[in-house]
Amino acid sequence: MQKKTVKDVDVRGKRVLVRVDFNVPLGPDGTIEDDSRIRACLPTITYLINHSAKIILCSHLGRPHGKVVESLRLAPVARRLSELLTRPVISLRETIGPRVEKTVADLKDGEVVFLENLRFYPGEEENNPGFSQDLSRLADLYVNDAFGASHRSHASVVGISPFLPCVAGLLMEKELEQLSNLLEHPDRPFAVILGGAKVEEKIGILENIIPKVDLVLVGGGAAAAFLKIQGNPVGNTPVDAETMKVVEKTILRDAMLRGVRILLPEDIVVTKIPEPGSPSLIVPSDQIPPDYVIADIGPRTIATFTKEIEHCRTVAWNGPMGIFEILQFSKGTKAVAQALAGLAGTTVVGGGSTAEAVTQLGLAGKMTHVSTGGGAFLRFLSGKTLPGVDVLLNR
């Protein structure tokens, strides 16, 4: 890797500010619904503990937009981290300031302190240099292990870089290596599976990846734009006219010129109201009735998609095949996840809801890599650099 990591610098006895992305999904009662992002940073934190650093963790949680929101305090996250590390984690109710500086000054080698939600301060999202400097005063070294936030030009991600030496954490290193491998030398055949509600968000990936792949499988609401271009009705599934134009003029054209196959669903599960228990129909994909929306791929499509996946040596997947949060519409997503889990080749899954689906199904461990990035994953696969990575020291 081109970037320096925590292993390239001396951390012994140093105060190390570690930016993590512990923006975990919370249930209605504030419980942590998926702690994957916390677990993913354990290698970096454990490395720093074992190398006698003083560890100062910082993260955002949710979008409080510069104000204190009680339900978005990081104390429960710090508690979970403490359980996973099986050692104490000191949880603070502030992020910067004299009291925080005092606690940090008293830290002993190997101790861990967790700062309050960065986004309780307007300076974080505004990328305010004063806020970055206040943060930097707490430490001798900065480690970015927040791959999932590295597309944000915020004070703790980008603005901090003039004030401290900045290196990558071990999760950041793993994410960059896995995702670069995927784009630079994938084993062929290489398929990308795209789903999710909004194809607009995936246009960048499609543009960047068509020259590199052999096959694209499109499911979920994302299929609507493609179906509509072919002149098919898509019921009430929303399709953006601008997106359709780009898909038709750029993506489909490029795919045709390069001999890349784009497979759309043959059959689709549709419903009038995407809610648990609401009635649904399975229809040929060129016959979506008015008033209905796409809820899942149908059984024939599942059979075709899984067969295609079996022949691949590399598969990248972003976006569920339907409304997988609703059990009756989760069959397509589940089948694709199982097909990937059974593949001997390289399987990379990313984007918030897709990673959650795979984790919920208990299949995350069967994938080569499950990215912790949502927007950051999409941006990286679009071939764009990440501002939080750009500012890290080169080797």
The catalytic residues are 37, 198, 352, 375
The correct pick among 54, 80, 152, 379 for binding ligand 3PG (CB under 6 A) is 152
Give which of 196, 151, 145 is closest to 166, Cα–Cα.
Answer: 145
Residue ranges in 327-386 that form contacts with Mg ion under rule CB under 5 A = 374-375
What is the closest distance, in whole angstroms, from the C-beta atom of residue 234 to ligand 3PG in the complex? 28
SS3 385: coil
Residue whose tokens read 């963790």: 57
Q: Which stretch binds ligand 3PG (CB under 6 A): 98-106, 148-156, 243-251, 304-312?
A: 148-156
Query: In the complex with ligand 3PG, which residue's Cβ is closer, 152 or 334?
Result: 152
Q: Which is nearer to ligand 3PG, 21 or 145 (CB)?
A: 21
**Which two structure tokens, joined as six digits, stand for 205?**
């990936």
Under rule CB under 6 A, residue 149 binds ligand 3PG: yes
Q: Select the binding partner of residue 136 from ligand 3PG, Mg ion, none (C-beta < 5 to 8 A, by kind).
A: none
CB 243 within 8 A of CB 215: no
Residues contacting ligand 3PG: total by CB under 6 A: 9
Q: Give the SS3 label for residue 225.
A: helix
Distance CA 358, CA 78 (A): 25
Among 243, 232, 339, 327, residue whose Cα is nearest residue 287 = 232
Beta bridge partners of 288: 234
Assign 342 to helix, strand or coil: coil
Cβ proximity of 171 and 372 under 8 Å: yes
Q: Please choose, out of 48-56, 70-78, 144-152, 187-195, the segment that lies near ligand 3PG by the rule CB under 6 A.
A: 144-152
Span near ligand 3PG by CB under 6 A; candidates 146-154, 265-273, 301-309, 342-350: 146-154
Q: Which does 21 bind (CB under 5 to 8 A by kind): ligand 3PG, Mg ion, none?
A: ligand 3PG
- The string of DSSP letters for 11-61 reads -TT-EEEEE------B-TTS-BS--HHHHHTHHHHHHHHHTT-EEEEE---
The residues pairing with 370 across neighbouring beta strands, listed in sequence order, are 349
Q: Which single residue is written with the structure tokens 């499509």?
A: 301
User: x/- contact string, 206-235, with ligand 3PG (CB under 6 A)?
Assistant: ------------------------------
Can you tell me whether residue 96 is helix, strand or coil? coil
Binding mask 39-68 for ligand 3PG (x = CB under 6 A): ------------------------x-----
Q: Under the rule (CB under 6 A), what is the footprint of ligand 3PG?
A: 21, 23, 63, 148-149, 152, 352, 374-375
Binding region for Mg ion (CB under 5 A)? 374-375
